[in-house]
């Protein structure tokens, strides 16, 4: 029996109210992420915070990139200050809003099953984990001022920001915080989906009962190991070989296969119209439809007159 149900996963949620509460919480967080990442795109404050940290001696300077380009030297922009980080954040926020809308519709239609949720939120966990890595990547471009840990606005706060950059520093910190909260939300979704995939004892019992009923319905003494395709063909042949319901050619029931014309000829011939005699003489009655054989007493009487 264990072999028959090893791939059995449930289609129902263990705690549906928790799923509904998470989707309600997800909406404002997704809107906040979309707003913060959209405001930062394409480069509202990234380079300004980079330069602010360089002035304080916390990281490299964006001027090094200009010198490298001017001298035609290949150089890689630190990931935490790159446009890739900003673009990635915008893409995942838009994707999160799209998934939320589709997920809400599927939930209302009762087709958002735990297996689908596991795949979707597992993917979102990977995407947001990369986003956190991008926002917290080290800056080792300048050997004299390496930043091996978090960027300065996350590790040291906004007290080192200039007056013009304090608002931008708060936005950058809020973006990182929303990203972490979203990652935690996707992790809760993932764990709840995984928990709902494990069938309960009652569901296992019901599944085993269904399998037993199917085995009893498909059991054949001659071929107990018949494959599914062979069983389907056998059932089809069994259906085709079923005896036909006895009916007359004109659609009447077999209990009374007498037509008005047959009754008339039978009465004229002096026969009876009972059901028993009708069944016994069905061939004679059918033959009477083609016309009477021999003389008719009623017709002969009037012809003689």
For the beta carbon of residue 90, count every other beta carbon within 10 angstroms.
18
Share of the chain above pLDDT 70, in %: 64
Residue 57 has pLDDT above 80, yes or no: yes
Q: CA-CA distance, 86 to 46, in Å (whole number)? A: 9
Q: CA-CA distance, 41 to 54, in Å (whole number)? A: 22
229 pLDDT band, cuts 50/70/90, is: confident
Residue 215 located in a structural domain: no
Residue 213 located in a structural domain: no
Mean pLDDT computed over 49-58: 96
Residue 192 located in a structural domain: yes
Quote the mean pLDDT of the chain: 80
Residue 210 located in a structural domain: no
Residue 234 located in a structural domain: no
Residue 5 has pLDDT above 80, yes or no: no
What is the pLDDT at residue 246? 54
Q: Cα angle vertex 147, ends 145, 152, to 5°?
A: 110
Residue 65 host element (H or E): helix 63-70
DSSP state for residue 82 in the 8-state scheme: S
* Tally: H helices and E strands in the chain: 13, 0
Whether 71 and 82 have beta carbons less than 8 Å apart is answered as no
Cα torsion for 141, 144, 150, 153, to the nearest 10°?
A: -100
Q: CA-CA distance, 141 to 61, in Å (whole number)? A: 9
- Residue 95 CB-density burial (10 A; 0-12 exposed, 13-18 middle, 19+ buried): middle
Statement: the pTM of the whole predicted model exceeds 0.75: no
**E-only strand ranges, the chain:** none
274 pLDDT band, cuts 50/70/90, is: very low
71 pLDDT band, cuts 50/70/90, is: confident
Mean pLDDT computed over 253-261: 52
Query: Residue 268 — φ and ψ, nearest 5°?
Result: -65, -30
What is the pLDDT at residue 210? 59
Mean pLDDT computed over 180-185: 98
Query: pLDDT of 18-49, one tens digit each?
Result: 999 999 999 999 999 999 999 999 999 999 99
Question: Taking Cα atoms as reference points, which of 22, 5, 17, 21 lies closest to residue 120?
Answer: 22
Q: CA-CA distance, 148 to 163, in Å (whole number)? A: 26
Domain that holds residue 126: 23-200
Query: How many structural domains compose the chain?
Result: 1
Residue 254 has pLDDT above 90, yes or no: no
What is the pLDDT at residue 280? 45
Asked which of 89-98, 110-119, 199-208 is least confident by mean pLDDT, the reply is 199-208
What is the pLDDT at residue 2? 41
Q: CA-CA distance, 242 to 146, in Å (whole number)? A: 86
**Radius of gyration for the chain, computed over Cα atoms and rounded to the nearest angstrom:** 42
For the beta carbon of residue 81, count every other beta carbon within 10 angstroms.
24
Residue 45 located in a structural domain: yes
Residue 254 located in a structural domain: no
Where is pLDDT greater, at 139 or 256?
A: 139
Backbone dihedral region for residue 57 (phi beyond 0: left; psi -120 to 50: alpha; all else: beta): left
What is the pLDDT at residue 33? 97
Residue 41 located in a structural domain: yes
Where is pLDDT greater, at 58 or 276?
A: 58
Residue 252 has pLDDT above 70, yes or no: no
What is the pLDDT at residue 198? 84
Where is pLDDT greater, at 22 or 66?
A: 22
């Amino acid at each position: 029996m264990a072999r028959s149900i090893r791939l059995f996963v449930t289609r129902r949620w263990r705690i549906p109210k928790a799923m509904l509460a998470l989707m309600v919480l997800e909406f404002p967080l997704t809107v906040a992420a979309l707003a913060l990442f959209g405001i930062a795109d394409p480069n509202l404050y990234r380079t300004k915070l980079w330069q602010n940290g360089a002035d304080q001696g916390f990281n490299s300077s964006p001027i090094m990139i200009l010198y490298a380009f001017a001298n035609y030297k290949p150089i890689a922009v630190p990931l935490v200050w790159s446009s890739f980080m900003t673009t990635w954040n915008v893409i995942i926020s838009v994707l999160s809003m799209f998934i939320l809308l589709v997920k809400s519709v599927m939930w209302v239609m009762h087709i958002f099953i735990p297996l689908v949720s596991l795949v979707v939120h597992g993917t979102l966990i990977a995407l947001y984990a990369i986003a956190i890595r991008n926002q917290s990547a080290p800056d080792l471009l300048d050997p004299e001022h390496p930043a091996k840990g978090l960027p300065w606005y996350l590790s040291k706060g906004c007290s080192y920001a200039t007056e013009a950059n304090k608002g931008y520093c708060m936005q950058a910190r809020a973006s990182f915080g929303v990203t972490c909260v979203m990652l935690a939300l996707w992790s809760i979704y993932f764990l709840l989906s995984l928990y709902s995939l494990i069938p309960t004892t009652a569901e296992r019992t019901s599944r085993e009962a269904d399998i037993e009923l199917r085995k009893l319905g498909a059991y054949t003494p001659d071929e107990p190991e018949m494959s599914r395709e062979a069983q389907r063909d056998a059932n089809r042949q069994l259906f085709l070989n079923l005896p036909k319901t006895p009916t007359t050619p004109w659609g009447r029931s077999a209990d009374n296969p007498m037509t008005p014309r047959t009754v008339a000829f039978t009465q004229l011939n002096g026969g009876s119209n009972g059901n028993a005699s009708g069944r016994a003489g069905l061939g004679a009655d059918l033959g009477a439809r083609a016309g009477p054989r021999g003389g008719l007493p009623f017709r002969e009487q009037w012809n003689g007159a």
